[in-house]
Amino acid sequence: MSKSLQAIRGMNDILPEQTPLWRYFEGTVASLLDGYGYRQIRMPIVEFTELFKRSIGEVTDIVEKEMYTFEDRNGDSLTLRPEGTAACVRAVLEHGLAGGGQTQKLWYIGPMFRHERPQKGRYRQFHQIGVEVFNLDGPDIDAELIVLTWRLWGLLGIRDAVTLELNSLGTSEARAVYRDALVEFLSARADQLDEDSRRRLSSNPMRILDSKSPETQALLVDAPKLADYLDEASRVHFEGLKARLDAAGIPYVINPKLVRGLDYYSKTVFEWVTDKLGSQGTVCAGGRYDGLVEQMGGKPTTGVGFAMGIERLVLLLETLDKVPAEIARQVDVYLCAFGEAAELAALTLSERLRDQVPGLRLQVNAGGGSFKSQFKKADKSGALYAVILGEDELAQQVVGFKPLRGQAEQQSIAIDALAEHLATSLEKA
């Protein structure tokens, strides 16, 4: 027998039972970003590989080990996007969106791809919502990004479950001086480092700071501190950010080992983390990348942004039991029709109700069936109410109106009064 077809490991179907929560989350974020003046941009899933090598850094884990890269029929090397910032910067440059110093506040949503070991909260195809801002260089916009995520956690009811961690990486020049000091310190103790950290010592030494090895972390206690190497401009910028967060009443923790996994970050970096999801604790992260646009061939243009993982945040909502009850219900009303004349009338009645009751979720029975079978389908749909239309009801220009959740009795409602009755009932539900 042939092998049954299955999804690729780490690339998951999102089933109809799951999508209402995804739509709720995505809709909440979209409405929030609209309220802050951000505009949506949509980029391709596939980009030239060179884009990510140039932006993320050739010696990062993402480029070295995790990207899905292939040659197309023209011999071009293409890559499924592993993150969104580089693609967004490419689009901004290509279309001149930040030319002349004009400010752009953008957001995007979609799948990203990394060949990692799949585990709960970490997949090979995962989904992100990202926000990017160009040509604003002060700590005020850094603060706005954090404030709007704080507002989002409030809307979702998860503020108590997340913690904000902050750090400043300084400028690339200051970071280079710190990197030399860190390499000198660690090279003298290379035999005490874990294997992964020894490999990073020559390629990306700052990533050693967030090593998961307890022995390496113990060694880092006496290592040089990045804060001691910050340039004055970065120090002032960071103090300005903290002052704004203090004024907004947003709690945070300074994490001097927070460096992020991408080469393009500078100055502010931040992560929202939770201890409710095991090892996959980062749910939203970002920071400044003031040199990235120039690095990719554009004129000097400041940038700052973040990305949040939809899978992890959806999982957090489920874990904390913060899923609104109403989003699990996909149908408000199920319309049962018995007999051909009633079925014809049901079609026009359903369209009239949709016109008269905005947002009504109405499912009309299809495929006929007995009274018992239609009521069984009505109950299974999750609807709050069943509307019954048969030959007798049609002759009297009424419908049966039966609540499906609870003990209330069936009523007879005039067809002309049904829309108003439905709207009132749903408002009380």
Average pLDDT of span 178-192: 88
Work out the mean pLDDT of the chain and round it to a whole number: 92
**Confidence band (pLDDT; 50, 70, 90) for 122?**
confident
> Range(s) for CATH 3.40.50.800 in the chain?
330-428
User: What is the rounded CA–CA span in Å between residue 188 and residue 168?
Assistant: 26
**Confidence band (pLDDT; 50, 70, 90) for 28?**
very high
Beta strand 362-364 pairing with 385-389:
unpaired
User: What is the rounded CA–CA span in Å between residue 328 and residue 268?
Assistant: 39
Question: Which of 10-24, 70-84, 120-134, 213-227 shows the lowest mean pLDDT across its residues?
Answer: 213-227
The verdict on pTM exceeding 0.85 is yes
Q: Which CATH class is domain 19-171+231-319?
A: alpha beta
What pLDDT, on the 0 to 100 scale, is given for residue 63?
80
Question: Which of 54-58, 158-162, 274-278, 380-384 shows the lowest mean pLDDT across its residues?
Answer: 54-58
Under CATH, what is the fold of the domain 330-428? Rossmann fold (3.40.50)
Pair 276, 291: CB distance under 8 Å: no
Q: List, in sequence order, every residue forming a beta bridge with 126; answer none if it has no partner.
A: 112
| pLDDT tens-digit readout, 362-386 | 999 999 999 999 999 999 999 999 9
Pair 274, 316: CB distance under 8 Å: yes
**Confidence band (pLDDT; 50, 70, 90) for 203?**
confident
What pLDDT, on the 0 to 100 scale, is given for residue 373?
96
What pLDDT, on the 0 to 100 scale, is given for residue 1?
55
| pLDDT tens-digit readout, 160-174 | 999 999 999 998 888
| pLDDT tens-digit readout, 287-343 | 999 989 998 999 999 999 999 999 999 999 999 999 998 787 889 999 999 999 999
Which residues, 6 or more positions from 113, have their beta carbon under 8 angstroms from its beta carbon?
A: 45, 67, 68, 80, 81, 82, 124, 125, 126
> Range(s) for CATH 3.30.930.10 in the chain?
19-171+231-319
User: What is the rounded CA–CA span in Å between residue 51 and residue 298?
Assistant: 13
193: burial class by Cβ within 10 Å (0-12, 13-18, 19+)?
A: buried
As a whole number of Å, the end-to-end CA separation of the chain is 52
**Confidence band (pLDDT; 50, 70, 90) for 268?**
very high
Average pLDDT of span 88-111: 96
278: burial class by Cβ within 10 Å (0-12, 13-18, 19+)?
A: exposed
